[in-house]
Chains A and B, each alone.
Chain A
Amino acid sequence: MLFTWFMLAGFIFLFAPQNLTDRFQVAFFRVFQMPLSIGENISLSVRTPRLLSDDTNVVPRREHVKLQNRCADLEAWLRQEHEKLEKLAQLRARLPLEGAALVDAGVLSASFDKLHGELIIDQGRDDGLEKEQFVLADYSIIGRVSSVLSHEARVKLFTNPTSKNIAVNINGTKQFMQGTGDNLAKIPMVRNTVKTDTEIMAARAPGFLDAPMIIGKVVRCERNSESAVLWDIIVKPACDIKHLNSVVVIVMNPQK
């Protein structure tokens, strides 16, 4: 009888609407935020070698990466503005992200293993967030909002194995990038190889992203498994996602 009651409870959770059951998961991460963050810091400090140098002429690596990403974004926007000028656009051009609100959000929990790539952040619908909005860290795209509660939201990283909805510009064409897990993604079935460390820019997405922004860098090129003449371009994030404490969500045309 006890078994039956517990099975019934399990089925109730299984068939309940996900936005309802998500609250339990988010509540757990909120209540145990401190011990979870302590554990994550222990895990990351064990895996990351410590810097021994405190030379004032040395810029911390994260700051260096942040500035590099900012440079790449500005160069992409400059190229875009040049193209507009060449086309002699009739409409008055807007600066990139001019009409957007940038919402700062703290990271409540994160998972980056082979099967997952997700963050839970502490801003939600009441703060203007909606599904599919782009999320930035260190001036680079890291993913899109996948579900929204009143005060929290889930961000699906572009390295998540189920992520297939981020278009990138490669070799002059637009293609969709697929997450492969383990903090990597691939651009499948590309005609030509791309040099290692080449910057990959996320393409414009009307209503969500009005200018290209850096999303990653090329790690290597592999032969496509289905077609020997095509290549899969393996991409890593442009920032250190594993050490993020906060992110920025792009809210285009926010309602005032």
Chain B
Amino acid sequence: MRWFRFALLILFVAVLQASVLANMDVRPDLLLILLVFFAIYCNATEAIITSFAIGFAADLIGSPIPMGPQMLSFGIFGTLLAYLHRVIAIRKMPFQALAIFATTLLAGTFAHFLAFLIKSEPLTLSIFRTLFWMAIYSAIVGPFLFLPSAWWMRIRINRFTRH
């Protein structure tokens, strides 16, 4: 695992998410797409580290939501996805899209729920509506972003497991 490239990729995507995509009404969650990518194509240990790191990056740009909920949420669901991938191969694009959709919905809902529970952040219906469309958009766009991510990280994606 090339950690320096990973750090650069996450920083780039975080800046992109917080600037170019920030003012779109409905936008894909690029960090979550990366979460699913690393959960599928890395081993368990690397998947855990990358999930929590991506969650930390999501917390940094997640203002006004306070820090903590997304780090936990991404970490838990990234790890679960990594272990699920050992049982059910998520190789084909439709399955990857489904994984992105489910992870976006579940991780997003859990993060907002944690923020509501611990930090008293508001929890309104519009949040779930926005999360749903974000999940749809991410599921459509996500699988196509796996190839450039794999190229940057020097990961082969035409095999079941990575060496």
Question: A: which residues have CB within 8 A of B?
Answer: 2-3, 6-7, 9-16, 18, 21-22, 24-25, 28-29, 32, 35-40, 42-44, 47, 109-116, 118, 120, 146, 154, 156, 161-162, 181-182, 242
Given contacts A32-B15, A242-B23, contact A3 B122 (CB under 8 A): no
Which of A15, A25, A113 is B23 in contact with, Cβ under 8 Å? A113
Cα–Cα distance between A37 and B19 once the two chains are bound (Å): 7
Instruction: Assess the A6–B52 pair: CB atoms within 8 A.
Output: yes
Chain B positions within 8 Å of A28 at CB level: 14, 60-61
Look across to chain A and name the residue whose beta carbon is closest to the beta carbon of B119. A18
Closest Cβ–Cβ distance, residue B156 to chain A (whole Å) = 24
Cα–Cα distance between A32 and B11 once the two chains are bound (Å): 10
Which of A10, A11, A120 is B63 in contact with, Cβ under 8 Å? A120
Question: B: which residues have CB within 8 A of A?
Answer: 11, 14-16, 18-25, 27, 45, 48-49, 52, 55, 59-64, 66-69, 71-72, 75-76, 79, 114, 118-119, 122, 124, 126-127, 130
Instruction: Assess the B130–A115 pair: CB atoms within 8 A.
Output: yes
Chain B positions within 8 Å of A39 at CB level: 15-16, 18-20, 22
Look across to chain A and name the residue whose beta carbon is closest to the beta carbon of B124. A161
Instruction: Assess the A161–B15 pair: CB atoms within 8 A.
Output: no
Instruction: Assess the B66–A21 pair: CB atoms within 8 A.
Output: yes
Which of B16, B27, B45, B67 is A25 in contact with, Cβ under 8 Å? B67
23 inter-chain pairs at a CB distance below 8 angstroms, sorted by A residue, are A2-B48, A6-B75, A10-B68, A10-B71, A13-B67, A14-B71, A14-B114, A21-B66, A25-B63, A28-B61, A35-B15, A36-B18, A36-B19, A38-B19, A112-B22, A113-B24, A113-B25, A115-B126, A115-B127, A115-B130, A116-B63, A146-B64, A154-B63
Identify the interface centre among B14, B24, B68: most chain A CB within 10 Å of its CB.
B68
Look across to chain B and name the residue whose beta carbon is closest to the beta carbon of A3. B48
Instruction: Assess the B67–A161 pair: CB atoms within 8 A.
Output: no
Instruction: Assess the A40–B61 pair: CB atoms within 8 A.
Output: no
Closest Cβ–Cβ distance, residue B91 to chain A (whole Å) = 25
Closest Cβ–Cβ distance, residue B43 to chain A (whole Å) = 12
Given contacts A3-B48, A10-B52, A14-B114, contact A40 B23 (CB under 8 A): yes
